Structure 1
Amino acid sequence: MHPTGSDLRLLQVFDAVVRHGGFSAAESELNLSQSTISNHMAALEERLGIVLCRRGRRGFQLTEEGRAVHDAATRLNAALYDFSADVGSVQGRISGELRIGTLDAISDDPGNRLHMAIAAFLETARDVKVLIAQEAAQDLQQKVSDGTYHCGIGVDLSPVDGLDHLPLYIETHSLYCGRGHAFFQVADDDLNREEVLDQPFVQRGYWHNAEARQNAFHNVAATVFQIEPQLMLIRSGRYLGFLPDPYAERWCANAQLRRLGLDGMRYTAPFFLITARDKRKSSTVTAFMHAARKAWNIA
């Protein structure tokens, strides 16, 4: 299949439907009626010769083929923006799209200066469309490697070939309990380490080694893959868990969380600007990297 202009439009409709989880939910973004969206989807399925999605009592569902086509369409859309950036560079201007992947729960950290980097970047790149997406820690590096994102702001979780990591800042994590927990009113000096380690603990599913798990809690009772659901479980008063200190600070201030001040119950997470090493960097990406260095005062 060699996509035509009309094919690209159909793929844009398909992408909106997938992102919104159905035809009716995509109406506002596309400014099209449900019947028109349905006709577009039927035309795309006929063009491809496959069924992309199903609608029924269970709601909107992608088929396996639909997921594969959507992944391909996402890569195609990214390539089109990169082409626009390359042409803009030839014309002597910075244009196209800048795609940045970030982790969740980082906006409260004073060490996170992404907003400053974007402000500096847009001083010279006003025509660039900026896309920032929250990504799971275990997926961020791979998605920078495969071109889903031009760069990522995150941790070096596991080795991925072909990536560069520019150190930006250090995030600290401590052990917390919620207001309803039995330890909430217990003074730090009265806490017993073994009793703490026996408490129901919520871990992050992307931790791979003993150092990251911290202190080998005996009762891993819940698993999460992002900070926000971890906070909810800790606030329930039924679990202990590690949280980024800047993120937890506001909850401690209104007495919803408490940091347990046991020795060793703390660790640090270095954050990096992650970029693909082997791929030619467009003028857009180069300009953002320069802005990031400026924001974080990196020579």
Structure 2
Amino acid sequence: MKFNNGKSMKYLRIFFIANISLLFFISCSDIREDIPISAPKIALHKDGIKNPASPNFHGRLVATSNWDMKQCQQCHAANYNGGTAGASCYDCHKTPGGPEACNTCHGDFSNPLRIAPPRALNGDVLSSDRGVGAHSKHLYDNKLGKVVSCNQCHIEPATGFSDPSHIDNTPGAEIVFGSLSKLQTNKSNGFNYQASLGDFIPNPSFDSNNAGCANTYCHGYFKNGNLNNVVLFTAQSQGAACGTCHGDPATGNPLPKTNLQGGTHPPPPTAQDCQLCHGDVVEVNNGVYTIVNKDKHINGKLNVFGNEFEF
């Protein structure tokens, strides 16, 4: 069968137009709105990131990173308000300071006023535990003497959480004794100075092996005190028994050294009742001594006959 040139050109045009139209309709067709789009979700944290009992708890991750909070700030912002993560740390860390508050890592997480252990960094809560010890006795619950501040045993960070004195490359808390532990109690211009007795200048020390404090004013290194007394940080009530700092630790008798024993007190029967001279501090009933005003005991001053004197 033969086609003339006119018909061939006609069929060729029709074929060309049909193909162009088909391509046009295909390229301009609408995208179906019901096509499901499932983008993969990216999870930076594993399950349990907010569960203290989980090995994936974020507190554990911070601890294993030597308490480096910068890794948290990368996503939650330098002020922890959310950042690119869109999740504010203050949703859980509600106390002043947020994640960098003192009681976040040690102390009572629910009470910003209790920043010292218990809880210790490792979670210990018993006073027999090394990280807990007598922190509460010194800072909050001292019934025998005036409470002290953290800086009497540690350097308080001056510039916040990341201060080099706070976060460094050496594990454990450094013991740096403050002024109270070093108090000299026999000065030439002080009350009841006696040159023959020496100066009684403490040289505090801490034994990291047994957590023992020695040569401190707080625990016996003072005029009329038991200079060789060593108190263990985990000794609990035994470390504060009557007679340990002054008197006889074996019997619990708190009567301090007489002038015949290298002290300044007269011998019995004159010096057999502490409250005769120190009635603002202590009283005795049936041989039982009780501190009546703890703020006037172990406070760096000498209380005699209702007056406080500098040593």
TM-score range (shorter-chain normalised) is: under 0.3
User: Between Structure 1 and Structure 2, which shows a larger proportion of strand residues?
Assistant: 1
User: Between Structure 1 and Structure 2, which shows a larger proportion of helix residues?
Assistant: 1
**Bigger radius of gyration among the two:** 2
TM-score, normalised to structure 1's length? 0.26
Task: Give the number of the structure with larger relative contact order, counting CA–CA contacts within 8 Å between residues 6 or more apart.
Answer: 1
